[in-house]
């Protein structure tokens, strides 16, 4: 049995668990600690160390995957969503590895979720191009082609009518403008139609907390591409980060 620790860093909470990377099952309780106020690098790193200790992380032979809400380029965090802007340009992977005393696999959070759905969820066994989007405060995205993760796709920032798509189509926009499901779905229709025209995907997967209410809005969309809810909502980042850290995982491009 292959196993790894998966850590999912978010703007409000940092979650982790030990994962059986062959099956995608959790081998421990999922532990969640609050993200420190302000989201400063040193505070988040300290919290991750604490979380791994709570997960029995003394065994340095267990791989660790960490997913983070940023573009990740050569171990650097090139953006920052809902955390301190001090992360931008930081050699974050090296800082985590120094604090943890081991190598890690460091990946964008939406990429981790997309990979989890490929290994264990709605995209398992799907050939061609899969686009996962997470509808939350913004829109995260992951591109998977024939099971291979293409990292750092920022499809929430595609411009539609002169504005970032996520400013109109994220779940936060629905809440902010108090939109009905029908009115929000009209915005989603515009967004997914644009993605469809640009990428001609074989499958859309919709993640984020709102995906638990998928029956309220997915049936309102009219697309040529199948669109389905994510299977692993709250655990997707943990599972994907752990799976990418496991030695048997194929490399990303």
Q: State whether 104 and 143 are in the same domain.
A: no
Q: State whether 38 and 131 are in the same domain.
A: no
Q: State whether 55 and 134 are in the same domain.
A: no
pLDDT in tens, 78-93: 999 889 999 999 999 9
Give domain status of residue 119, yes or no.
Answer: no
Q: State whether 33 and 80 are in the same domain.
A: yes
Q: State whether 24 and 72 are in the same domain.
A: yes
Q: Which domain holds residue 39?
A: 3-111+235-245
Query: Taking the CA of residue 134 as centre, how many other CA atoms within 13 Å lie in the half-sphere pointing to its CB?
Result: 28
Residue pointed to by tokens 């798509």: 165
pLDDT in tens, 65-75: 999 999 999 99
CB atoms within 10 A of CB 222: 9
Give domain status of residue 116, yes or no.
Answer: no
**135 CB contacts (<8 Å, ≥6 apart)?**
169, 170, 171, 188, 206, 207, 208, 210, 211
Give domain status of residue 253, yes or no.
Answer: no
Count Cβ atoms within 10 A of the Cβ of residue 197 and give its class: 0-12 exposed, 13-18 middle, 19 or more buried.
Answer: exposed
Q: State whether 37 and 86 are in the same domain.
A: yes
Of 215, 231, 214, 37, which Cα lies nearest the Cα of 126? 231
Q: State whether 21 and 93 are in the same domain.
A: yes
Residue 56 is predicted with a pLDDT of 83
Query: Are residues 231 and 205 in contact, defined by beta-carbon separation less than 8 angstroms?
Result: no
Enter the pTM of the model. Answer: 0.89
Task: Quote the number of domains for the chain.
Answer: 2
Residue 153: pLDDT band (50, 70, 90) is: very high
- Both tokens of 150, joined, read 């293409």
Give domain status of residue 164, yes or no.
Answer: yes
φ/ψ of residue 66, rounded to 5: -125, 125
**7 CB contacts (<8 Å, ≥6 apart)?**
14, 15, 16, 48, 51, 52, 64, 65, 66, 67, 238, 241
Give domain status of residue 43, yes or no.
Answer: yes
Residue 249: pLDDT band (50, 70, 90) is: very low
58 pLDDT above the threshold of 90: no
pLDDT in tens, 97-148: 999 999 999 999 999 999 999 999 999 999 999 999 999 888 999 999 999 9
Mean pLDDT of 175-189: 97
CATH number for 36: 3.30.420.40
Q: State whether 130 and 204 are in the same domain.
A: yes
pLDDT in tens, 1-46: 799 999 999 888 999 999 999 999 999 999 999 999 999 999 999 9
Mean pLDDT of 206-213: 92
């Amino acid at each position: 049995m292959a196993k790894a620790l998966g850590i999912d860093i978010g703007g409000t909470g940092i979650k982790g668990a030990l994962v059986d990377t062959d099956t995608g099952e959790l081998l421990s309780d999922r532990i969640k600690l609050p993200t420190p106020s302000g989201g400063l690098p040193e505070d988040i790193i300290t919290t991750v160390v604490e979380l791994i200790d709570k997960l029995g992380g003394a065994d340095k032979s267990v791989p660790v995957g960490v997913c983070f809400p940023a573009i990740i380029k050569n171990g650097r965090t090139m953006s920052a969503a809902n955390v301190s802007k001090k992360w931008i340009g930081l050699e974050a992977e090296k800082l985590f590895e120094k604090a943890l005393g081991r190598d890690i696999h460091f990946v964008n959070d939406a990429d981790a979720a997309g990979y989890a759905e490929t290994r264990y969820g709605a995209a398992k066994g799907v050939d061609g191009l899969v686009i996962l989007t997470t509808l939350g405060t913004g829109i995260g995205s992951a591109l998977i082609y024939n099971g291979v993760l293409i990292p750092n796709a920022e499809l929430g920032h595609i411009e539609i009518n002169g504005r970032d798509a996520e400013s109109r189509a994220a779940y936060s926009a629905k809440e902010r403008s108090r939109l009905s499901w029908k009115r929000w779905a009209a915005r989603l229709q515009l967004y997914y139609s644009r993605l469809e025209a640009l990428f001609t995907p074989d499958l859309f997967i919709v993640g984020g907390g709102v995906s638990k209410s998928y029956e309220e809005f997915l049936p309102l969309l009219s697309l040529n591409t199948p669109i389905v809810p994510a299977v692993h909502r709250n655990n997707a980042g943990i599972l994907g980060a752990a799976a990418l850290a496991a030695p048997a995982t194929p490399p990303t491009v």
